[in-house]
Amino acid sequence: MAALSDQLLVVAILGYLLAMICHAVEYAFGTRSVIGRAAARPERERVLVGAGVGAAGGSAPVVGTKLPGVDVPTPAGGSRSPRAVLAGRAAVAFTVLGAVVHLAVLITRGIAAERMPWGNMYEYLLSVTFVGVVGWLVLLYRRPTLRHLGLFVALAMVLLLAVAGLVLYVPIVPLVPALDSYWFVVHVATIAVSSGILLLGAVPAVMYLLRHGYDQGKRSFPYSLGARVPAADTLERLTFRLHAFAFPLFTFAVMAGAVWAEAAWGRYWGWDPKEIWAFISWVVYAGYLHARATPSVKRPVATWIAVLGFLTMQMNLYGVNIFFEGLHSYGGLD
Amino acid sequence: MSVDERGTGSEAAPAGVVEAEPPAAGGPGGVGQPSRVRRTPLPLALLRNSWRQLTSMRTALILLFLLAVAAIPGSVLPQRNINIENVNRYAVEHPDLFPVLDRIGGFDVYASPWFSAIYVLLFTSLVGCIVPRLRDHVRALRAAPPPAPKRLDRLPQHAVLTDSDGDLAAIAAVLRKRRWRVVVRDDTVSAEKGFLKETGNLLFHFSLIGVLLGVGLGSWYGWHGNRLLVAGPDNAFCNNLQQYAESKLGHQVDGSDLPPFCLELTDFHAAFLPTGQPESFRATTLVEEDGAAPRRESFSVNDPLRLDGASVYLLGHGYAPILRYTDRNGEAQESDDAFLTIDGNLTSEGVAAFPDVNLDPATGARNPDLQVAFEGLYFPTTPDSPPFVRSTYPAERSPGVMLFAYRGNLGLDAGVPGSVYRLDQRQVSSGRLKQIGEGKLLRPGEKWTLDDGTSVEFLGTRKYITISVRYDPGERIVLISSVLLLVGLMPSLFGRRRRVWFRISPVPPDGVSPADPLSPAPAGATTTSRSSLVEVGGLPRTEYAGFADEFDRLVAATRPEGGRPDGARDDGAPEDGAPEDGARDDGTHPGRARSGGATEEGTD
Ligand code: HEM
């Protein structure tokens, strides 16, 4: 079972790699105008469709709803290359495949270890990335026009899983007694889910910054990527919603960790390096939410704070396990 | 979030948002109230200005960042309250840097003046921010929804019902049923919803204060002590300060406050995997509390022993070899001092000292030159062949103790406290304590006879555990506050404040058709056969993507026949809607029209 899990990891990475390639193909073939238009318009189209139905079905009682024009929604109007569409669909299919295999990696690993697969950094990173990819697919389902972000999601998945497999890999061992607690399960599960979503949230955040720079006329390298991503507004709202969703969960996860720490070590908070960096991330994300709620803070500034929060999360994920000595250093990397 | 365009003083955009704009150069106080400013003495104005600055959202943001940055050194430098040995090692390794860093609190970051200053300022800012907000919120909760603006068609959401029977009471009833706060004035219904957002926000921020208070209470009234506890009735301990190897009492606690209880370790069980990784631990103890009969209690990692007024946490474990020394007079003494584990396979090192042996048979006086001590390494699983330096497995598969014997003056009378786990090296180097022969490996039951005919016998081992005994009265407050914090956070993040107005016009309003291109003339408004016409306007006061949907459903629900079924457009969770955002963008600048009346809604 353990060996199967390891082999499946390779398959999962391959799946994401193929997804990445297909996304890249779509990206290369897709024309800016199509993507730009389709991406900027999804809500409006939906609402229009809705309004149309409403009007037709209900003898037009509701009139004058403040919606622009009556143009017929043409989701993929314009000169859309069929090759690009095909590549995009294939990319999503490969992502789904990757995610399914990814889940299988976790399940087989869990079966082999006879416990939840969250005992060390390798397993933990696999779980976080899985949450990230599921979050991505859910998002994609609800907002198909965001598909172009998939290139970056797939890239992140390939890189992270490769790091997991090559750097962090450890053979299966059961949990040490300190980790044998229900609160540990709750804590790690919620941390993994919230980290996964925050990880995902960083994608639109960075895209937004690129797009915003592009919209401001910046054409140099990183900003040139902004040409092909969805509208700045859409990205910014998405960034916020992912963070707003993940923040309470992350808060809860930290609290669960504190409850567990109380039982395991006798204190709920002891400024262990892991705790310190969780605190830092929490404060930075709280800063992001504040900044975004404050009209005098510009949206790009607020979004930079979210990116900073993401960096602190990464510091906690890798840096703390590798560089510092602490109670949480169970990464298995000694 | 704070898309509140106008902040009628009831939510969002209060203090923080308004005062975040720095006042005009040199102008003390708010720009908007020059007459009052002139009457205020300068120092007071300055004070008020600083207070405003402090409670502004911008300051809160800066303080939040300072707090995050200030927390970093604590993860890079070793901290006294976590691991004093690492701090000492750092001092040795960086003799130049250490004193400098130490002076600025680098090794006590979370108790340092600068860290404290940041969070004290932050919480002051917090109080300054949320107390007025609470007042405003209470006021808003009591106030009736504001009257309808003149031009409902200028609102982000607008609809005209041509088939309504114009029954305002019925409309109000529908709204009330959907938990809107409703007031009917003449020909209009005003309704407002979503106060929970601000309630949650306030709850969240007040809970933060609760957390801080709980932490403070814990550090004032809490205490803890750490010690090692060897199995057996002779090694039982009762809770008082002298019994702890290391202890810390809160400012408000003294030694006599410790709850009385006694603890004896009767059994310790550890299970290991074949690789040597620990699998489970369990300590069984006899507890005597408040003079009650001793009771048996077991506890383990993650499952502390909860006593009245303290909890006992299992931190570690190890072995204490039992050595019996028989002296020249044939007197035997036993020692079961704990040996400290030095690796994962529980190789342990320690000392068994016998200061009161080889006494003068006549006088019973100590002979300082005939004291005996054994320095040793204990291996729960002894390697099959020399060198005997490391245990090969943590459980006792083939125990053995490697002893080095010393005779002479142990230096215990010198009054210099030494480690109980090491011999006093000064005595050894000065020659007052001499090693006898080479080291010898003893298996359980084996005896080693020294050159003077005295002997030492290895009888076996006792288990020991290291424990932390703790009391933190702030814990419960922190926990409750945290739960409330979380409870408040949800509505604060996901709540949406919004308003709707219904107005009845007896005749179709020809004037409704506005110039605003975003709001096309209500087609069909003039073709109605009914005599009354209901105009509806909706205003999301916080960013609320699904408002258009909710608005439509609401409008449909107020139609006499019930209109088209609810949720005709309800195809999932609310999506980000462009219309609302447009509203925000062309709305007034937040906070600018703070004192404006409701009739100005959306007329910028
Ligand atoms: C102790 C540090 C603080 C933390 C961790 C914190 C955290 C948060 C969080 C997570 C939110 C998000 C909820 C939301 O956006 O609705 C929030 C909202 C808010 N906070 Fe704080 N806060 C702190 C201090 C402050 C201070 C000092 C102020 C006043 C200057 C303040 C004013 C606000 C306001 C006005 C909102 C609501 C924004 C809105 O939605 O309109 N907070 N806070």
Final residue belonging to a domain, choices A174, A190, A221? A174
Mean local confidence (pLDDT), A251-277 = 89
A46 touches chain B (CB under 8 A): yes
Residue B207 confidence (pLDDT) above 90 = yes
Which of A288, A290, A305 gets mutated to test ligand 1 (max ligand atoms within 8 A of its CB)? Answer: A290
Distance CA(A185)–CA(A257), nearest Å, equals 10
Ligand 1 contacts CB of residue B126 (under 6 A): yes
Distance CA(A63)–CA(B523), nearest Å, equals 6
The answer on A216 and A311 residing in a single domain is yes
Residue B203 confidence (pLDDT) above 50 = yes
Ligand 1 contacts CB of residue B14 (under 6 A): no
Asked if the Cβ–Cβ distance from B275 to A180 is below 8 Å, we say no
A130 domain residue, yes or no: no
Distance CA(B389)–CA(B384), nearest Å, equals 11
Q: Which residues, including other chains, have CB under 8 Å from residue A288's CB and lie 6 or more apart? A: A243, A302, A303, A305, A306, A309
The answer on A246 and A168 residing in a single domain is no
How many angstroms is it from A286 CA to the middle of ligand 1? 7
Asked if the Cβ–Cβ distance from A277 to B303 is below 8 Å, we say no
Look at A114-118, B142-146, B416-420, B483-487 and tell me which has the smallest mean pLDDT: B416-420
The answer on A230 and A160 residing in a single domain is no
The answer on A304 and A258 residing in a single domain is yes
More confident site: B19 or A185: A185
Asked if the Cβ–Cβ distance from A47 to B472 is below 8 Å, we say no
- Where residue A297 falls among pLDDT bands split at 50, 70, 90? confident
CA distance B64 to chain A (A): 6
Query: Which amino acid is located at B219 in the chain?
Result: S
The answer on A170 and A197 residing in a single domain is no
Q: What is the pLDDT of residues B90-128, one digit of tens each?
A: 888 888 889 999 998 889 899 899 999 999 999 999 999
B451 class by beta-carbon count within 10 Å (0-12 exposed, 13-18 middle, 19+ buried) = exposed
Nearest CA to ligand 1 atom 31: B126
A177 touches chain B (CB under 8 A): yes
Distance CA(B141)–CA(B156), nearest Å, equals 24
Final residue belonging to a domain, choices A174, A192, A221? A174
Asked if the Cβ–Cβ distance from B156 to A66 is below 8 Å, we say yes
- Where residue A324 falls among pLDDT bands split at 50, 70, 90? low
A197 domain residue, yes or no: yes
A287 domain residue, yes or no: yes
Q: H or E stretch including A187?
A: helix A182-215
**What pLDDT does A48 receive?**
36
Interface with A, mutate which of B61, B125, B592 (most A CBs under 10 A): B61
- Where residue B56 falls among pLDDT bands split at 50, 70, 90? confident
Is the Cβ–Cβ distance between A92 and A140 less than 8 Å?
Answer: yes
Token pair of B378 as six digits: 């204990």
Residue B527 confidence (pLDDT) above 60 = no
The answer on A214 and A155 residing in a single domain is no
Residues of B in contact with A258 (CB under 8 A): 482
**What pLDDT does B126 receive?**
93
Which of A248, A266, A320 lies closest to B489 in CB terms? A248
A72 domain residue, yes or no: no
A275 domain residue, yes or no: yes
The answer on A301 and A160 residing in a single domain is no
Asked if the Cβ–Cβ distance from A271 to B545 is below 8 Å, we say no
The parent domain of residue A322 ranges over 178-334
Residue B9 confidence (pLDDT) above 70 = no
The answer on A245 and A278 residing in a single domain is yes
Stretch 259-318 of chain B: residues touching chain A, C-beta under 8 Å: 273, 275, 277-281, 300-304, 311, 313, 315
Distance CA(B421)–CA(B373), nearest Å, equals 11
- Helix H, strand E, coil C: the string for B391-440 is CCCCCCCECEEEEEEEEECCCHHHCCCCCCCCCCHHHHHCCCEEEEEEEE
In 3D, which of B352, B360, B361 has the Cα closest to residue B333?
A: B352
Ligand 1 contacts CB of residue B60 (under 6 A): yes
Asked if the Cβ–Cβ distance from A271 to B591 is below 8 Å, we say no
Q: What share of chain A is helix, strand, coil (3-state, %, to 5)?
A: 75, 0, 25
Q: Distance of CA A308 to CAs A281, A289, A317, B65, Å? A: 9, 13, 14, 11
A135 domain residue, yes or no: no
Which 8-state DSSP code applies to residue A271? -
Mean pLDDT of chain B: 79
Tell me the pTM: 0.75
The answer on A191 and A167 residing in a single domain is no
The answer on A306 and A193 residing in a single domain is yes
A106 domain residue, yes or no: yes
**What pLDDT does A49 receive?**
36
Final residue belonging to a domain, choices A174, A194, A225? A174
**What pLDDT does A69 receive?**
34
Mean local confidence (pLDDT), B480-506 = 91
**What pLDDT does B323 receive?**
92
Domain count, chain A: 2
The answer on A330 and A251 residing in a single domain is yes
Residue A148 confidence (pLDDT) above 50 = yes
Task: Give the whole-number percent of chain B exceeding pLDDT 70.
Answer: 80
The answer on A150 and A15 residing in a single domain is yes
A272 touches chain B (CB under 8 A): yes
Q: What is the pLDDT of residues B475-486, one digit of tens each?
A: 999 999 999 999
A332 domain residue, yes or no: yes
Q: What is the pLDDT of residues A117-143, one digit of tens each?
A: 777 778 888 888 898 899 899 988 888
- The ipTM of this complex is 0.76
Mean local confidence (pLDDT), B352-367 = 82
Largest CA distance in chain B: 128
What number of H helices and E strands is found in chain B? 14, 21
How many angstroms is it from B205 CA to the middle of ligand 1? 7
